[in-house]
Amino acid sequence: MKKYLLWTVMVLALAAPSVSWGQTAPPEPYHGGAPAFGERHGRGEERFHEHKAEMIRHLHEQLEAVQQRIRCVEGAPNHEALRVCMPEHREERR
């Protein structure tokens, strides 16, 4: 009888924390953090626009490269011509 009582107490002692652990409150929402570098030094808005213009320029460069590859692939009459269109991908597969 003592053995079963001890076993029941041990099971309940282990089960109780796991039940209460599942009932924790949800985490608080994130409300930002430290200000960006430019904002800390009074250049936030100016630096933002410079950074945004730089990102747009970079994206346009990438877009132009992809469009050139598309034109090359569309005009390729055979597999050898396709290899010329995408030389960096051929090197990755080796």
Q: Is residue 24 part of a domain?
A: no
Domain boundaries, position 86 = 48-94
User: Could you list the pLDDT tens digit for every one of the 94 residues in the chain?
Assistant: 677 666 776 777 776 666 556 666 766 776 666 665 555 555 677 788 899 999 999 999 999 999 999 999 999 999 998 888 887 765 544 4
Q: Give the count of domains, the chain.
A: 1
CA distance linking residue 25 with residue 93, whole number of Å: 50
DSSP assignment, residue 42?
Answer: T
Q: Is residue 17 part of a domain?
A: no
Contact 86, 69 (CB under 8 A): yes
27-46 as b/e, with b when 16 or more CB fall inside 10 Å? eeeeeeeeeeeeeeeeeeee
CA distance linking residue 36 with residue 6, whole number of Å: 58
Predicted local distance difference test score (pLDDT) of residue 38: 52
Q: Name the 3-class secondary structure at 74.
A: helix
